[in-house]
Amino acid sequence: MVPKPATKYFPEGNYTELNLVTLSYVSDAAEEFGILSLMQLVDKASRRNKALNVTGVLSFDNGRFGQILEGKPKDVEAIWELILKDPRHTNVVSLGMKKINTRRFANWSMRLCGREEIVAAEPQLKI
């Protein structure tokens, strides 16, 4: 897969018709990632997501990340731009952003889950 370049999914000011979106992506870890580093990443992401009212899940397996984010388009896109600039991620590939009516992960600002669980939620996330 060829990584998609950093782009805005929606033009500025075009958010009013969309209430909630979901964004999924996969990436490779830029370097070896231990359990402590992973827990620190989840903690930081959870606090940031909570402040933006973004929810979702993250999986990490064999050096690959898979993540699903949910929230207002401008907030999800802001997090996406941070991910694209994050040196811990390489080969970042968006699986798309789409409108949703309800959150699947409403109770989790960021939950760490297993590979099987995230693939069940989003079959495209084959990490």
What are 17-57's pLDDT values in tens digits?
468 999 999 999 998 888 899 999 999 999 999 999 999 99
- Residue 81: inside a domain: yes
Q: Amino acid identity of 78?
A: A
- Residue 41: inside a domain: yes
Tokens read off for 11: 């033009």
CA distances from 69 to 34, 36, 76 (A): 23, 22, 7
Q: How far apart are CA 68 and CA 112, in angstroms?
A: 11
Full domain range(s) for residue 57? 20-121
Q: 111 near 103, Cβ under 8 Å? A: no
* pLDDT class of 113 with cuts at 50, 70, 90: confident
pLDDT, greater one: 15 or 118: 118
- Residue 35: inside a domain: yes
Provide the CATH number for the domain around residue 83.
3.30.70.100
Q: 75 near 23, Cβ under 8 Å? A: no
Looking at the predicted structure, is the pLDDT value of residue 65 above 90? yes
When divided into structural domains, the chain yields a total of: 1
